[in-house]
Amino acid sequence: MKKVKIGIIRTISFKDRKLIELHGKIIEKYFPDLQVISRYIKDQPRGIYDENTKRIAVPKIVELGSQIEVKEKVKAIIVSCADDPGVKELRKLLKIPVFGAGSSVAAISLSYGDKIGTLGITTHAPQIMREILGEHLVAETKPEGIKTTLDLMTNEGKSNALKSIKYLKKQGAEVIALACTGYSTVGIAQELEKETGITVLDAVIASGLFAWHFTRKLL
């Protein structure tokens, strides 16, 4: 089967190749028409979790995106961070479509319902998600004790995430948009969905859906 090659930019510096490639593997599993090339930004072992870590990440993301468009001839690029760092900049520079995990998960949630709650690693959802969700954003939160994406990889992180979903549901949320791709790394969406009976949307899968759809005519 001919596959469409796309690129994914991880916004964290993992040493473990398996961890670097994990989001790409998730997308390949859900969208077997895609082949995903993974790249990551250097010198940010804790990823992006505030304005400063975003600011220093953007030029690295733009550089990686520009490189893989030319060298790897990918047909689309995903920036795997719910803050969409570098997405606007890359869209201006590149000829291929660029998807951000944050705009993607916000967009998909609006197709499914109109009262959206966000679960991130900061109190507020990233700006791009707040912008897109607008008045449909009914509640936003983060699990207790979580500061960076790495904290989600602990049992305590997972159990606090469950509490957070219950809180969002209580606030009137009918759909949850996961506002950090660290939740994809731990693969928690289905688990949270099962335990709470509310639809929980994964940001990496959302971006994969759009990358698949917009590159399909190339198959």
Q: Which residues bind a copy of itself (CB under 8 A)?
A: 88, 91, 97, 99, 103-104, 106-108, 110-114, 131-132, 134-136, 206-207, 209-210, 213-214
Question: Shortest distance, CB of residue 164 to a copy of itself, whole angstroms?
Answer: 23
Q: In what order do the strands lie in the sheet with 199-201?
A: 137-141, 116-119, 175-178, 199-201
> Greatest CA separation found in the chain?
48
**Closer to a copy of itself by Cβ: residue 153 or 218:** 218
Question: Shortest distance, CB of residue 99 to a copy of itself, whole angstroms?
Answer: 6
**Closer to a copy of itself by Cβ: residue 104 or 181:** 104
**Closer to a copy of itself by Cβ: residue 49 or 99:** 99
**Closer to a copy of itself by Cβ: residue 76 or 180:** 76
Question: Shortest distance, CB of residue 149 to a copy of itself, whole angstroms?
Answer: 22
Beta bridge partner(s), residue 100: 79
Burial 165-189 (b: 16+ CB within 10 A, else e): beebbeeebbbbbbbbbbbbbbebb
Instruction: Give Cα separations from 182 to 82, 124, 138, 206 (angstroms).
Output: 9, 16, 22, 14
In angstroms, the CA 77 to CA 137 distance is: 27
Question: Shortest distance, CB of residue 131 to a copy of itself, whole angstroms?
Answer: 7
Question: Shortest distance, CB of residue 14 to a copy of itself, whole angstroms?
Answer: 26
**Closer to a copy of itself by Cβ: residue 114 or 144:** 114
In angstroms, the CA 75 to CA 71 distance is: 12
Give the count of alpha carbons within 13 A of 53, CB side only.
Answer: 19
